[in-house]
Amino acid sequence: MQTYRGTAASPGIAIGPAAIFRKSTLTIQERTLNEQAVGPEVERFRAAVGLSKQQLEAIAERAERDTGEETAAIFRAHLLFLEDPAIVDAVEERVREGRRSAEAVVAEVIEEQAATLAALADAYFAARAADVRDVGERLIRNLLHPAGEGGAGEGRTGEIGEGIGGGGSGAPGVVFAHDLAPSDTAQLDRRMVLAFVTEAGGPTSHTAIMARAMGIPAVVGTGELLARVHEGETVIVDGGEGTVVCSPETGLLTDYRRRSDAAAARSRGRERLRDLPAETTDGRRVELAANIGHPREAGPALEHGPDGVGLYRTEFLFLDRSTVPGEDEQYEAYRAVAEAFGERPVIIRTLDIGGDKEVPALGLEREANPFLGWRALRISLQRRDLFRTQLRALWRAAAHGHILVMFPMVATVDEVRQAKAALAQAREELVAEGKPCGSAIPVGIMVETPAAAVSADILAREVDFFSLGTNDLIQYTLAADRVNEKVAYLYDPFHPAVLRLIARTVEAAHAAGIWCGMCGEMAGMVEAAPFLVGIGLDELSMNAPALPLLKEAIRGMTAARAAELARKALDAESGARAREILAGKAGD
Ligand code: PEP
Ligand code: MG
């Protein structure tokens, strides 16, 4: 028996035979072309781009059918790479200027793009490097095998299909791979996959995202493992713990089977909660909302029964492209989400870029301290052209649903006043132009700087609601960069300073008669729920798959007991102690 640890990427327990998936490698030869061959080489490249697009469209359709919109969106994003001049024009230019063969140039350009993405501080965007490489590999396969034989289309499907199925037995198996590109993952027959285990990747890699969307347990980033696992040997994957056990002892196997059955029963039970409110047994109701980053995520999010959208990160509309979206495009996107949610509230956050989120189309300068620099509302208040376009789009969309607006990274009351004035002005313009728009949009701010939390009583007079952005609030409070692994030990949601700032913010909101929610990752942590309910948060917004878990936790507690635990946690001397108290392990 051998136990390996990785990153818990998608919860659930799987037991079954190991199926090792190895990708074939591509051999690329650099060729120098003579003058006459250059034109046809460019044509050959264009044909490969066309073929790749056709394949991706087909895969996106299939993914939509089999695994839902979220997965399909990944391949639609791949299609955008094939329209990006930084890739397509760059390849053509280098083929022409260097008289080089297309495969070699594609490999070079793709690697440059991937390296740029991988260097980004934000884990989500860094993980997109794998997507660019996936697209590059498809292009190269299509250049090498344009007829499809062994190419990136059906030939590739077969190749992957052969890699799974419980050691060749045809039974479902646990897929072990070094890394899985999104197109590999989507083409695996989900009935044959019990779990994924990959040597590479982090929790925001697409394997992880797709595994979560497919409801398949996954452990990623185990480090070297393929050499030690034998095809067909029995393995246990615990996607919640991030562990993989090879050839487990009988006792452990029995124990895991029991846990797996119990988890399946619990999950079935949670499905029944879908349309019930998140209400404590003594009657306190908490709104549970979903965080989304794209209109395509609205449909899958609704399946988990959210009360609304607590955070729509609009910046995702601005990424992976060379120009910024105009007013009409933004209007369509916001309207789509508002309509999908009907009467349910949708909180749309204005652009939050800078810091760790880069928008190539804006060409922002690199800064020494990006998290302390020109980001979010600070950019919007200076780039008034961008802000005005977004606010106009919001007002127009507000005619079609229940939209609220939220400003990110507020530090001063003056910023809030300026943002509100810009919002009011955008409506005046639309009315003067005779364009239909909403009649009123409630205004909120993210409380994610210590400045905002400490002066929450002042800010509360200006707005209709607060939403605590703990992802940033924690990093600023503890002076610990949220994406720097070396200081990750300091990045603790339960640190007394963080808990106190959160409690203080909620208190200030309620004293001013406004509501307070939370949309940072902490909102989706079951272990934080007694504290969050106990201090009186009105709304919690999280990744949609976490909603049933939080609903179950809230429906299983009393607000009175939660308040008592929260009070004690606020007096704890450390994050570790606060966790014990909230888990009911403090011996009281
Ligand atoms: C936050 O900071 O908690 C938040 C929700 O915003 P983001 O993660 O987009 O910075
Ligand atoms: Mg933030």
**What one-character-per-residue DSSP string does 367-398 give?**
-SSGGGSS-THHHHHH-HHHHHHHHHHHHHHG
22 compared with 555, residue with greater pLDDT:
555
Please, which residues bridge with residue 7 across strands?
Answer: 220
CATH 3.20.20.60 in the chain, residues? 282-582
Q: Is 448 in the pocket of ligand 1 (CB under 6 A)?
A: yes
Tell me what pLDDT residue 210 has: 66
* Residue of 379, 472, 476, 541 with the most ligand 1 atoms within 8 Å of its CB, for mutation: 472
- Kindly name the residue from 78, 145, 206, 402 that is annotated as catalytic: 206
Euclidean distance between CA atoms 349 and 419, whole angstroms: 12
For residue 586, what is the DSSP state? S
* Residue of 124, 292, 313 with the most ligand 1 atoms within 8 Å of its CB, for mutation: 313
Q: What is the mean pLDDT of residues 483-507?
A: 90
The CATH architecture annotation of domain 35-144 reads: Orthogonal Bundle (1.10)
- Among 281, 233, 331, 307, residue whose Cα is nearest residue 561: 281
Q: What is the mean pLDDT of residues 253-261?
A: 93
The per-residue pLDDT for range 378-417, each reduced to its tens digit, is 999 999 999 999 999 999 999 999 999 999 999 999 999 9
Q: Give yes or no for a contact between 77 and 320, defined as CB atoms under 8 angstroms apart.
A: yes
Tell me what pLDDT residue 553 has: 96
Rg (CA), the chain: 25
* Residue of 125, 317, 448, 477 with the most ligand 1 atoms within 8 Å of its CB, for mutation: 448
- Kindly name the residue from 246, 437, 516, 519 that is annotated as catalytic: 519
The per-residue pLDDT for range 315-364, each reduced to its tens digit, is 878 876 778 999 999 999 999 999 999 999 999 999 998 877 777 778 88
Active site residue 206: yes
Tell me what pLDDT residue 9 has: 83
Q: Which CATH superfamily is domain 2-23+157-255 in?
A: Phosphohistidine domain (3.50.30.10)
Q: Is 469 in the pocket of ligand 1 (CB under 6 A)?
A: yes
Atom of ligand 1 lying closest to residue 470 CA: 3
Euclidean distance between CA atoms 123 and 99, whole angstroms: 37
Burial 456-465 (b: 16+ CB within 10 A, else e): beebbebbbb
- Distances from the Cα of 427 to the Cαs of 91, 348, 366, 383, in angstroms? 45, 16, 34, 18
Q: Tokens 């391949």 — which residue? A: 75
HEC secondary structure over 223-272: CCCCCCCCCCCEEEEECCCCEEEECCCHHHHHHHHHHHHHHHHHHHHHHC
CATH 1.10.274.10 in the chain, residues? 35-144
* Mean pLDDT across the chain: 88
Burial 56-80 (b: 16+ CB within 10 A, else e): beebbebbbeebbbbbbbbbbbbeb
Euclidean distance between CA atoms 232 and 235, whole angstroms: 9
Q: Give yes or no for a contact between 406 and 350, defined as CB atoms under 8 angstroms apart.
A: yes
Assessment of whether the complete model's pTM goes beyond 0.75: no
CATH 3.50.30.10 in the chain, residues? 2-23+157-255
CA 448 to centroid of ligand 2, rounded, Å? 6
Q: What is the mean pLDDT of residues 505-520?
A: 97
The per-residue pLDDT for range 91-111, each reduced to its tens digit, is 999 999 999 999 989 999 998
Q: Tokens 């989706």 — which residue? A: 524
Burial 286-299 (b: 16+ CB within 10 A, else e): bbbbbbbbbbbbbe
Tell me what pLDDT residue 246 has: 95
- Residue 411: other Cβ atoms inside 10 A: 17
Active site residue 516: no
User: pLDDT class for 435, splitting at 50, 70, 90?
Assistant: very high
Euclidean distance between CA atoms 463 and 514, whole angstroms: 8
User: pLDDT class for 168, splitting at 50, 70, 90?
Assistant: very low
Q: Tokens 């790479």 — which residue? A: 81
The CATH architecture annotation of domain 282-582 reads: Alpha-Beta Barrel (3.20)
- Among 103, 95, 181, residue whose Cα is nearest residue 145: 103
User: pLDDT class for 153, splitting at 50, 70, 90?
Assistant: very low
Burial of 202 (C-beta count, 10 Å sphere; 0-12/13-18/19+): middle
Given the DSSP bridges, would you call strands 515-518 and 2-5 parallel, antiparallel or unpaired? unpaired
Six token digits for residue 189:
């027959």
The per-residue pLDDT for range 521-574, each reduced to its tens digit, is 899 889 999 999 999 999 999 988 789 999 999 999 999 999 999 999 999 999
Of all protein residues, the one whose alpha carbon is nearest to atom 8 of ligand 1 is: 471
- Lowest average pLDDT, out of 132-141, 203-212, 363-372, 487-496, goes to 203-212
**Which numbered ligand comes closest to the C-alpha of 293?**
1
DSSP-assigned states of every residue in 291-330: EESSGGGHHHHHTT--SSEEEEEGGGGGSSSSS---HHHH
Burial of 445 (C-beta count, 10 Å sphere; 0-12/13-18/19+): buried
Euclidean distance between CA atoms 412 and 381, whole angstroms: 13
